[in-house]
Amino acid sequence: MSSRETVLQWSVTALGCLLLVVVVADLLTASGSMAVNGVERALPALLALVLVGFGVFLRRRGVAGRDVGIVSLGLVGGAALFVLIDFWLVFVISLGGPIPKMNGYPTLNLVAIGATGNAVLTGLYLRLRRQNEKLKRLTARLEERNQRLDRQTAKLESQNERLNQFAGIVSHDLRNPLNVAAGHLGLARETGDEEHFEAVERAHDRMDTLVTETLSLARHGKTVEQTDTVGLQSVAESAWGTVPTGETTLSVVTNGHFEADANRLQRTFENLFRNAVEHGGAVGTVRVGLLDAGGFYVEDDGDGIPTGDREAVFEFGRSSASDGTGYGLAVVEAIVEAHGWSIDVTESTDGGARFEVTTDEAGAFGV
């Protein structure tokens, strides 16, 4: 503890002792009966002892030196105020006649009352201020917990929604190929035609694809907890190498680095590239780059997505191809949201489809 802090913490006690010394000195130098003089100075002596005790109390409670210093200032200010009041009364009385004879004990009483009262009031003010600050901290923690609870609630609601969607997949999407397989299997038993077995095989392949995509959606939709620094160009080129793209070319316009789950991010690009090549029409080039406002984009020069269909492209089971599962872009959205980002679809500069991934977190996508 610094010497300055020590001085401040003992300042109220020191001022109380000083007032007591002044009272005792005035008592010893006063003329007249010692008993009468003692009674006249009993109150300031008692208040001086109160100040000494109050200072010790503040010290033992561990009140910061700065706050004790403020109490000391209040003590001195109260004493000075009552001294001014005393002199003002003497001045007013003197206007009507001779200046009255000044005795020490009235002034000491006023000084002691003013000093003690203002010191106690200042101490109460500081206590209320500390309690208010403590209440603010508690309120901030409660708000933080409420926000965390809201996030957990939203996460649970999202999981419940996903479970409902999975239930729909099992009850509808998987039931269709099962019915097809059962129908052709019955026909195969009746006719022995091998074409029915080929239809059963296609139905099984369709179910296998649906199961794979459903499991992928469940896995990739989990909140990202561990991330690595990934490069936009590196992950985009790795994803491009896994997708049958034919004559379509990839152009990485701008590169950047950001924190993400590398495997899930690559899956995002794979699905976006596959969507462009398989559903974008005559796509010649797919471009990838950073957004000026933060984030990245994937766009093509194909046919684009009609304005009225853009909000529905991320829905489960929605596909423009008869043999598509409609889970590709749903998986993309699940991965993006698992990172705490958001994704929107708009029109590219060439009239094709443009997917923009953004976040509210400042500096999340660096150059």
Query: Could you tell me if 237 and 352 lie in one domain?
Result: yes
The answer to the question of residue 323 being in a domain is yes
Contacts of 273 (CB under 8 A, 6+ apart): 239, 240, 243, 245, 250, 286, 298
pLDDT at 205: 75
pLDDT digit string (tens) for 304-329?
888 888 888 887 655 555 454 567 78
Give the other-Cβ count within 10 Å of 254's Cβ: 15
H or E segment to which residue 143 belongs: helix 104-168
Contacts of 155 (CB under 8 A, 6+ apart): 223
The range of the structural domain enclosing residue 84 comes to: 3-143
| The model's pTM | 0.49
Q: Could you tell me the sign of the dihedral formed by the alpha carbons of 229, 343, 272, 347, in that order?
A: negative
302 backbone φψ class: left, alpha, beta (φ>0; ψ -120 to 50):
beta
- pLDDT the model gives residue 217: 59
Among candidate residues 143, 174, 195, the one where a domain is terminated: 143
Cα–Cα distance for residue pair 23/108, rounded to 1 Å: 7
The answer to whether residue 249 sits within a structural domain is yes
The more confidently predicted of residues 154 and 269 is 269
Q: Do 138 and 247 fall within a single domain?
A: no
**pLDDT at residue 333 tops 80:** yes
Do 29 and 128 fall into the same domain?
A: yes
Cα separation, 210 vs 15, in Å, equals: 84
Say whether both 126 and 234 belong to one domain.
no
Q: Which among 235, 229, 277 has a CA at the least distance from the CA of 252?
A: 235
Q: Is residue 233 part of a domain?
A: yes
pLDDT at 246: 83
**84-108 average pLDDT score:** 64
324's CB contacts (< 8 A; 6+ apart) are 278, 279
Structural domains in the chain (count):
2
Cα 193 versus chain centre, distance? 65
Task: Tell me whether residue 34 is in a domain.
Answer: yes
135 shares its domain with 230: no
Same-domain check for residues 11 and 128: yes
pLDDT level of residue 184 (50, 70, 90 thresholds): confident
| In-domain check, residue 79 | yes
Chosen domain end from 89, 116, 143: 143
Domain assignment of residue 169, yes or no: no
Say which amino acid occupies 115: A
119 and 233 both lie in a single domain: no
Q: Percent of the chain at pLDDT above 70?
A: 78
CA dist 320 and 330 (Å) reads 14
Can you give the length of the chain in residues?
A: 367
276 with 353: CB under 8 angstroms?
yes
Q: How far apart are CA 303 and CA 353, in angstroms?
A: 7
Say how far apart CA 294 and CA 356 lie, in whole Å. Answer: 10
Write down which residue in 143, 177, 193 finishes a domain. 143
Q: Do the domain assignments include residue 74?
A: yes
Domain for residue 358, yes or no?
yes
Report in angstroms the alpha-carbon separations of 186 from 166, 174, 204, 220: 29, 19, 15, 38
Residue 217: which of 176, 277, 295, 164 has the closest Cα?
164
Nearest 5 degrees, angle CA 331-CA 334-CA 335?
90
Residues of 322-343 as b/e, b for ≥16 C-beta within 10 angstroms? eebbbbbbbbbbbbbbbbebeb
Are residues 229 and 346 both part of a single domain? yes
Residue 118: pLDDT over 60: yes
Give me the CATH number covering residue 289: 3.30.565.10
